[in-house]
Amino acid sequence: MKKYILPSLKLTIVMVVLLAVIYPILIAAVGKMAPGEGAGQKLVVDGKVVGYALVGQKFTDDKYFQGRPSAVDYNAAGSAGSNKGPSNPDYLQVVQDRIDSFLVHNPGVKKEEIPAELVTASGSGLDPDLSPAAAKVQVKRIAAIRSLDAAKLTALVDQQTAGPFLGMFGPAKVNVLQLNIALDKLK
């Protein structure tokens, strides 16, 4: 029995040191080399932090591009999806309500023109990005409210669009917060 206890204790101590001390220090060091030094990429406008690049935010004013809906009301502490399936009547009602609201705020847009991401929440509830199509479907509303040329807004969306990772992995996307910051800078 002694033959097995001592090696087991040694292995336990080695694994505790490795996994509870060395590994966390290594991960913290890698995080410090990342953008934002592991604390997230803060977006600063006029010396004031307005948000984080990788966390979705709620924009309710019609003069701004609105992001993907959140099942947790953009609460980063409680990141989650709705956990309701596509045949759940409550879920279908929420999606229909979002469609109706979008159509009220975006006259001239037809139901079939609304990208699904504008009426369905993401798995995390904190998605900061939209597809270029989801941003462009909102251009007409924002152009009318801000008295801007729609072509100028479309060009802004194109300018703010990030292509797929390494040119081939994932879709093109637009960060909604960065787009709205650029929108406020337009004159």
**Residue 124 CA neighbour count, 13 Å, CB half:** 10
Asked whether residue 29 falls in the same domain as residue 44, the answer is: no
Residues 77 and 150 in one domain: yes
Summarised one tens digit per residue, pLDDT across range 6-26 is: 899 999 999 999 999 999 999
Same structural domain for residues 53 and 144? Answer: yes
Q: Which of 12, 156, 137, 179 is nearest to 4 (CA)?
A: 12
Burial bucket for residue 178 (CB in 10 Å: 0-12, 13-18, 19+): middle
> Within 10 Å of residue 135's Cβ, how many Cβ atoms?
28
Query: How high is the pLDDT of residue 40?
Result: 73
**pLDDT higher than 90, residue 33:** no
Residue 85 and residue 160 share a domain: yes
Once rounded to an integer, what is the mean pLDDT over residues 165-173?
88
**Given a cut of 80, is residue 179 above it in pLDDT?**
yes
Picking from 10, 149, 104, the residue whose alpha carbon sits closest to that of residue 119 is 104
Which pLDDT tens digit goes with each residue over 97-115?
A: 999 999 999 988 899 999 9
Query: How far are the Cα atoms of 48, 54, 74, 133 from residue 70, in angstroms, in the given order?
Result: 25, 14, 6, 19
In terms of domains, do 88 and 155 share one?
Answer: yes
Claim to verify: residue 19 and residue 60 sit in the same structural domain? no
The domain containing residue 17 runs over which residues?
1-33
Same domain, 53 and 7: no
Number of domains, the chain: 2
Dihedral pair phi/psi, residue 130, rounded to 5°: -130, 160
Task: State whether 72 and 142 are in the same domain.
Answer: yes
- Whether residues 57 and 2 share a domain: the answer is no
Do 29 and 49 lie in one domain? The reply is: no
- Domain check: are 106 and 174 in the same one? yes
- The stretches of 18-66 forming alpha helices (DSSP H) are 23-33
pLDDT single digits (tens) 113-136: 999 999 998 878 788 899 999 999
**Residue carrying the six token digits 């929108």:** 183
User: Distance between CA 27 and CA 158 in Å, rounded?
Assistant: 36
**Shared domain check, 15 and 47:** no
Amino acid at 117: E
